[in-house]
Amino acid sequence: MSEQTPNNAPYWQAQDSHPDLTARFKDAMREIVDPEIGLNIIQLGLVRDLIIESDHALIKMILTTPFCPYGPAMLENTREKAEAALGMPTHIDLGLEPWDFSMMEEGLGEWGLFG
């Protein structure tokens, strides 16, 4: 399990093992926007971990709600963009961890926009 930063934002394992690939991945993931909320999956903290092996990558991800109508499309878009950014097959492990505002990028959950 990945360690958590103080605001419950994820710390990805790949940040230590593959920092250059992690930066490319993060930039690509900023293009995937939750259409109901209007923020990207990095801002929302939906990517909980990124693990890069020699021949594949694994993304541990959650959704803002288990019944998100855009979930399947966002997951497929995430996988496709990750494979393009990382240059390797990528799989997504969809977790059941409940999402909350503390998972958002620092400062975003404090805007008062959500609740």
**Backbone phi and psi for residue 94, each to the nearest 5 degrees, phi listed first:** -85, 115
Look at residue 115 and tell me whether its pLDDT is greater than 80.
no
Look at residue 3 and tell me whether its pLDDT is greater than 80.
no
User: Mind listing the pLDDT tens digit for each residue in 94-107?
Assistant: 999 899 888 988 76
Look at residue 4 and tell me whether its pLDDT is greater than 80.
no
User: Mind listing the pLDDT tens digit for each residue in 15-54?
Assistant: 999 999 999 999 999 999 998 889 999 999 999 999 999 9
Best mean pLDDT range from 6-15, 91-100, 104-113:
91-100
> What tokens were used for 12?
């990805």
Residue 87, SS3 per DSSP? coil
- Give the Cα separation of 41 and 105 in Å (integer): 10
Query: E strands along the chain, which residues?
Result: 47-52, 57-61, 90-94
Q: Which fold has domain 14-105?
A: GMP Synthetase; Chain A, domain 3 (3.30.300)
**Domain residue spans of the chain:** 14-105
